[in-house]
Amino acid sequence: MQVTFWPRSLLWRTFILLAALVVATTAAWFEIFRASEIEPRARQISQNLVSIVNITRTALVNSQPELRRELLSELAEREGIQVYTAEPGERLAPPADRPVLNLALELARQQLGEGTRFAGERDGKPGLWLSFHIDDDEYWLRIPRERIERQIALRWLGWGALALVLSLLAAYFLVSRLNRPLRALAQGAGAIGKGKIPEPIP
């Protein structure tokens, strides 16, 4: 006995073809959206990074030495931003290799200076690390990952999934409505073939 996975029903055949078309269209739309979003998103991230570094550096330079520790504690508590002194022999790991992040860091380096260093982990602590200088001293600024991750992408994925489900439901409803008169015609033709009078097709 031969087993086939392709349905014999015209309804399900048509629905599967339409569903495949809807899924392919949604996937293509998502790829186009992701590609077109890279540069604007990267510029937004780079501007945020540059602003954080410049504001932090200016605050440290203009604050009184005895108040700097309190300022750093306030930055860590309120914004999650931490500042450390660069040390020799520190263990650094590169940032995540993502197109948006790579472009954002390159744009940030153009504004902060070629000597700016980036890391995805420093001495076992994850995050986005950026270096900056005050006179001859180098510092590391640690920014939590959630400050730069694409939270909006999850929202778009949710809306995309909802649109896909609604499209599939609409496709099934449309195919079922179109299939009714065709099924009635097939039943009428079968009745005529058996010598019977078919029922009127509504």
pLDDT in tens, 150-181: 544 556 667 777 777 887 787 777 777 776 76
Q: Are 155 and 175 spatial neighbours (Cβ–Cβ below 8 Å)?
A: no
| Residue 120 located in a structural domain | yes
Pair (185, 106) in one structural domain? no
| Residue 126 located in a structural domain | yes
Residue with tokens 């510029």: 43
Q: DSSP assignment of 114-132, as one string?
A: TT--EEEEETTEEEEEEEE
Distance separating alpha carbons of residues 25 and 27, to the nearest angstrom: 5
Confidence bin at 71 (pLDDT 50/70/90): confident
Distance separating alpha carbons of residues 50 and 135, to the nearest angstrom: 18
126 pLDDT more than 80: yes
| Residue 20 located in a structural domain | yes
Pair (135, 43) in one structural domain? yes
Pair (176, 80) in one structural domain? no
Number of domains in the chain: 2
For the chain, what percent of residues have pLDDT higher than 70? 73
pTM: 0.60
Pair (118, 180) in one structural domain? no
